[in-house]
Structures are given as structure tokens and as C-alpha cells.
A and B are shown apart, each in its own frame.
Chain A
Amino acid sequence: MRSARLTYAVILSGAAAWCALIVLAPAAASSAGGAPLLAPLGTILYAFFSPLCHQIGARSFQLFGSPLAVCARCSGVYFGFLAGTVAYPVARKLLRNSGPGSMFLILALAPMLVDVMLETAGLHESSMGVRAVTGAWCGTLVPFLIIPGAIEGVAQLLSRRNSHAVQTEKGIIDA
């Protein structure tokens, strides 16, 4: 139970820190005039997220007059992931180890993929709201797919390590 709580806490704090960095980039860039030390931080954060997102200003939410570090769809995915992680222990028990299967992944991805494909084909023009909502739908469901696996996987790895340590200790005593 302790390792389950710890694994969940690591995932939750990682997701929260990631979302905080997304918001911190425009905050640091906007306050750069008043606090010059923050300017490199804003630049570093935008550069950090640049390989992970196209960062097109017109497709990004604005905060303090500057775009977030990632686009609306990616913001939806990451903030949805945080919301899903927060909701996870309310909706499921941490120790319930049977996670959903591949159909759940398709259910999570389908609205976003349909939106992207229709837009690419020129059949529909997506808006920032649609991009954010389809991203958030995916992001909110993904924790339900990976948190059970992460909790069970960490428990298995710890159990293997403990078993190896006991065997090594036993070998030393026998020798």
C-alpha cells in the first residue's frame, strides 16, 4: 500500500510540476520588463517545450499577454492528465490493479484523431476550444490507463529487488 501511495504521489507531483512550468513560461516572459532575471527563465522554458509542441501563437491560449508554453491541444492533454490524476483515487481504488485495455486507449484518442484528420482533410475547421476539449478528454482518460500499471509495475520491480537482495544475503550466509 505504501509503494502504491508513493507511486501515485510521484505521478501527481510530476504532472502538477509539468503544468506549472507551462504556465510559468508566459508569466516569466511577461514580467521580464519588471524583473530582468526572469527573462532567461521564460526563454529557457519556451525553448524546453519547443521540441514537444509546435507552439503556434494563434493556436495557443494567452496568459499575461503571452502564449502558454504549449498549444491549446497540448495544454488540454497535460492539464487533463493532471485532472485525471487528481480524480483517479476518487474514481478507483489505488490498489485495484486491473487497468483497462486497448479499447480504452482508442476511446481516449478517437475524438482528437477524428478532429485532426477532418481538419487535415479540409472537411472541418477546428477551433481552439475543440482542440483543447479533445486534448483534455484524452489527457483525463490516460491516467486511468497508466496509473494502475505504474502502481503494479513499481510493486513488481521492488518485490524483484527485495527477492534478489534476500537471495544474495542467503548466498553469503550459506557460503
Chain B
Amino acid sequence: MPEKPGKLIPAVYGGIIMGVISGIPFLSIVNCFCCAGIMLGGFMAVFFYKKDLKESSPPLTNGDGIALGALAGLAGAVVTVILTALFHFVFHMALGSGMQRLEDMGMGDKIPPEAMRMIQGMMSGGGLLGITFVFHLFIDPLFGLIGGLIGYAVFKSKVPAVMPPPPPPPR
């Protein structure tokens, strides 16, 4: 029986889409709609995988959608942190817009200045890159997985996938 194609390359492609959308300022506004950019990465990973499937290959399954979305999320977290570092250190673009947004929301007076200073200290330079990486390492596989499942629902073949037979009991 022909083997399924590898998942790594389609997942990396999906991760690059995810990372470019999340890591480039202004483009990252797409994620303001419930992580649409991250879900798009998971969705596209399934699309690229489906393109690699041959007619004789076993059909696309839900398990493939989950695995591709989660893998694309891991790749996306790496790409995002690389691009964030690039924009921060090379182009000197300000990070930590979340703190500025708190001020814009009128929350500045509700939060004690010492708490604000403590968090601003944490969210500067290398600290912020670490936080960005941990944040994306958690969020990207989660929303990528949802994108992968949506991708499966869209790209699944009309013929239902056959579940593999249960393993024989150990002797």
C-alpha cells in the first residue's frame, strides 16, 4: 500500500504563513480577528498536504488535520519569534504595544504604577522575546490545530476515510 507523504514540509509552509502574518507589524492585525492568521497557517498546511497526496495514497484523515495544524503551529512560533527579533533589533521597531494599548484603554490609572513598571520591565528587549516565544508556543499550536481541523472539513474527500483496523491483541 502506498505510504502517505511527509507532513513536515507542508507544516513548515503553513508555519511560515503563520509566522509572517504574526511576526510582521501591521500584517499581524489579521490576528486581531480571533487569531485568523494563525488558523490560516494550519488551514494552509492541510491544503499543501492534500496537494501532495496521490490518488493511490490513503485519504486525508482528521488525525492528519490535527497533526499538521499543531506542527504548523510549532513552526509558526519559531518563525514569529525570528521575525519579531528581526524587526526589534534590526529595524528598531517598538515592541510591547500591549502596554501602550492598556494606556489607550484608560486602564493606566486603574493599575498601580509599580505593577505597570514591573510588567514593563519584564516586557522589554530579550524578556519580551522570551515571552513572545512562550506565548506563540502555546497559542500557535492551539489555533493552528483548529485551523487544521477546519482545513480537514473543507478539503476532506467525499468518500469517508476508513478507520485503520484495531491492533491485534498482544500474545
Contact = CB atoms under 8 A, between A and B. Distances in A.
B110 A50 contact: no
B168 A166 contact: yes
A122 interface: no
B97 A157 contact: no
A29 B115 CA distance: 11
Query: For the side of the interface on B, what is the size category?
Result: 35 or more
Given A52-B35, A156-B164, A169-B170, A66 B119 contact: no
A47 B62 contact: no
Contacts of A156: 61-63, 163-164
B163 A47 contact: no
A149 interface: yes
Given A160-B63, A163-B167, A30 B110 contact: yes
Interface string B148-163: 0110111010001001
A40 B154 CA distance: 42
B61 to A, nearest CB: 5
B43 to A, nearest CB: 10
Given A53-B32, A149-B152, A163 B164 contact: yes
A51 B22 contact: yes
Interface string B28-47: 11011111000000000000
Contacts of A56: 105
A147 to B, nearest CB: 9
B163 A74 contact: no
Contacts of B24: none
A17 to B, nearest CB: 12
Nearest to B168: A166
Interface in A26-76: 29-30, 32-33, 36, 39-40, 42-44, 46-48, 50-57, 66-67, 73-74
A157 B32 contact: no
Nearest to B99: A47
A165 to B, nearest CB: 8
Given A66-B110, A101-B153, 11 more contacts: A32-B115, A44-B119, A46-B98, A51-B98, A52-B35, A67-B107, A74-B33, A153-B152, A156-B61, A156-B63, A156-B164
Interface of B: 22, 28-29, 31-35, 61-67, 97-99, 101-102, 104-107, 110-112, 115-116, 118-119, 123, 135, 139, 146, 149-150, 152-154, 156, 160, 163-164, 166-168, 170-171
Interface of A: 29-30, 32-33, 36, 39-40, 42-44, 46-48, 50-57, 66-67, 73-74, 77-78, 98-102, 104-105, 142, 145-146, 148-150, 152-157, 159-160, 162-163, 165-167, 169-170, 173
